[in-house]
A and B are shown apart, each in its own frame.
Chain A
């Protein structure tokens, strides 16, 4: 399946959806709609990256922007990740509000100096004088047999760097709310688009709205165990919670929505109620965001814990190509169910 095929159908509304009162929109289509609305209201916003113009991005999530906003504001760049981020930094310092795209999240590694040593630190190093309203969009996540250089979830690396904010929308509603917040934010943000979610639809308001960065969301209330799931893993954790409710385990599912800043208060509050914590992410377990959450929970809610904290995450290997191996690699409903059951 090529990236283009994944996106097909995301703009289409099924008969059922068309008949429903609530307007539904695809995850990838939500990026396009949000960007178009923001660019209409704010002339300082522009998009730049590889293939974002005529082609609309390899995943199509910028499709239709260049015809409306022109080549000056939807800019095809060379394959040059460092210069793409530099383009964003320099223009942001000059007062523009760039959205620069790095296509696959794996490619942030090519641009690490510009992201980590420049964008994240300029404001601080300059004594506060600079503002950096820069948004970096990039597609993360496994599940397409795209192998080890096109599938990673590297959010923990970014969260470790003071100065950056990192958003991981789990559905189209969050795409719109978080992307709007990121673009309007005066700090550098990384907006991680999950490429397996591109065609999934859900209710999304027509008008622009913001989901505040750093505010998590209780997806499902429950009393027995707190499950914190990140990005696409929210879907898998929902499935696990439904299964377990049949077996009498009542899960409270929390989606942090952003991993930097991290809404630890929401998780502490939930754990104080449930006494159990399971953290689910696609990234490898070692040094993942789950490690940070576990550490903070033992600092802040140790007395409430009735069992060790469980992490359901990827094993410590590069992401394998073969569909058989990759399926085994990515956490899914079954593994989350097993992880939760470990606590009881």
Chain B
């Protein structure tokens, strides 16, 4: 398929939005201005951006505990997200969900999830609804390599295949299940081997290259929309920061050298080089995009800090639809 200049620029903007927001969130967390856990997506931007750029607006996604990137790549709002990270009432979840439960149903983003693998069965449900109502949409589940060791993933993959649902499985293989390397948690090198066991096709994709992810996703979803059943992509990627927060102390689960080596393949740098080499953008216009988005990020911090916390009486609101909690 033809990768137009427009697509290249769109992919870049999506990645920059994720990167700059996340770097800011990381700084805020380090200076104790964000409560709770923060799982940063930095390093993996090409995956969410490449996949979401290929989707229709109302195609559903489910996400992981590392979910800011997925929502931002799908067009999420900085203000509402930053406010949610601070627990403010103006946040995506009125301050009741926080980082691990970011969602935007208007963008068909069915939630980040604090339970590893748990979003995948929910994605099956969305795919089932698509099939039953014949709405032409597909559902996409993002999950990590670690999630494929969980029963929920297996149940969901098998069910999606058995019911031939319009669903794309996107494995973000960042080589670590929290702080444990892949080779210690599974006996296979490529997660994609598991797809064959469920009877659906899959492909390995360079998850540090947004164009590769976009192309693979576009090919897959064309087949899925055609009624060919679920498919899986394994995007080989890498997490630049720790499982939680930015950089842990006294942690030797991986070496600084390894991280530095992977940073040479930074998906933003890969893409900037491509933009410049192909003459789509010059360094100056790239910087202009970054400056503009950074300004939006700064404004979101201001918006969030100036937003009110929830009222204490909001505690019992929305436990149930149409009713009070007992």
Residues in A lying within 8 Å of B, measured CB to CB? 46, 48, 72-73, 75, 77-78, 80-96, 98, 113-114, 117-118, 122-132, 162-163, 165, 186-187, 260-262
Contact = CB atoms under 8 A, between A and B. Distances in A.
Given A127-B91, A127-B318, A163-B319, A91 B129 contact: yes
A95 B126 CA distance: 9
Nearest to B95: A127
Most buried by B among A88, A91, A123, A261: A91
B24 to A, nearest CB: 22
Contacts of B320: 123, 163, 165, 187
A234 B94 CA distance: 43
Contacts of B110: 90, 93
A81 B154 CA distance: 11
21 contacts: A77-B162, A82-B156, A83-B152, A84-B159, A86-B120, A86-B123, A86-B155, A87-B159, A90-B127, A90-B129, A93-B122, A114-B118, A114-B152, A117-B114, A117-B118, A123-B319, A125-B103, A126-B93, A126-B101, A162-B319, A187-B322
B96 A90 contact: no
Contacts of B122: 86, 89-90, 93, 114, 118
B219 to A, nearest CB: 24
Contacts of A89: 121-122, 125
B325 A162 contact: yes
A46 B132 CA distance: 9
Contacts of B132: 46, 72-73, 91, 96
A86 B121 contact: yes
Contacts of B156: 80, 82-83, 86
A126 B322 CA distance: 16
Contacts of B97: 125-127
A216 B79 CA distance: 46
Contacts of B152: 82-83, 86, 113-114
B72 to A, nearest CB: 17
B125 A113 contact: no
Contact of B125 (A78, A92, A123, A127): A92
A114 B151 CA distance: 12
A87 B320 CA distance: 20
Given A124-B319, A125-B103, 4 more contacts: A82-B151, A91-B125, A127-B92, A132-B321
Contacts, number: 154
A285 B126 CA distance: 40
A95 B97 CA distance: 22
Interface residues of B, number: 50
B93 A125 contact: yes
Nearest to A123: B318
A334 B104 CA distance: 56
A98 B122 CA distance: 13
Given A73-B132, A93-B125, A118-B122, A83 B155 contact: yes
Given A93-B125, A96-B129, A124 B155 contact: no
Given A90-B110, A94-B130, A186 B118 contact: no
B296 to A, nearest CB: 22
Interface in B126-140: 126-133, 139
Contacts of A94: 60, 125-126, 129-130, 133
B121 A114 contact: yes
B111 A86 contact: no
A92 B156 CA distance: 16
A129 B105 contact: yes
B188 interface: no
A88 B127 CA distance: 11
B111 A125 contact: yes
B278 interface: no
Nearest to A162: B319
Nearest to A81: B155
A287 B244 CA distance: 37
B103 A126 contact: yes
A96 B325 CA distance: 24
A271 B322 CA distance: 30
Contacts of A91: 125-126, 128-129, 132
A186 B322 contact: yes
A92 B132 CA distance: 12
A342 B230 CA distance: 62
B326 interface: yes
B248 interface: no
A78 B103 contact: no
B187 interface: no
Contacts of B133: 94, 96
A59 to B, nearest CB: 22
Nearest to B92: A127
Contact of B128 (A80, A87, A129): A87
Contacts of B115: 113, 117-118
Nearest to A96: B129
Most buried by B among A92, A94, A113: A94
Nearest to B91: A127
A72 B151 CA distance: 26
Contact of B155 (A75, A78, A88, A132): A78
